[in-house]
Structure 1
Amino acid sequence: MQTDITGRLLISCPDRPGIVAGVSQFLYACGANILDASQHSTDPKEGLFFMRMSFQLDNPSFTKEQLEKDFQEKVAAPRQMEWRIDYPDRRKQMVIMVSRYDHCLMELLWRWRSGELPVDIPLVISNHLELKQFVEDFGIPFHYLPVDAGNKPLQEQEAIKLIRRANADFIVLARYMQILSPEFVSVFPGRIINIHHSFLPAFAGANPYRNAYNRGVKLIGATAHYVTNDLDEGPIIDQDVARVSHKHEVTDLILLGRDIERQVLTRAVIAHIDDRVIIHGNKTIVF
Structure 2
Amino acid sequence: MSVGPTGTGATVPVRNSRLNREDGGPLHAQIRDILHRQIVDLALPPGASLPTEEELQRQFGVSRSVVRQSLAGLADLGLIRRQRGRGSVVAATPVLRRHVQQAGGLDEQAAAHGQRLRTHVITVEPSAPPQAGIDALNTDNTWKIERVRYLDDLPVAFMRTWVPRDFFPHFTAELLEDTSLLGLMRDHGYHPAGGPRQVQAVSADPELARMLGINAREPVLLLQGVTRDALGHGLEWFNVWHSPNTVFDVDAQVTSQPGRVSQEHLRRLRNLTRQLEAELDNLQEGGR
Q: Which has the larger radius of gyration?
A: 2
TM-score by length of 1: 0.29
TM-score by length of 2: 0.29
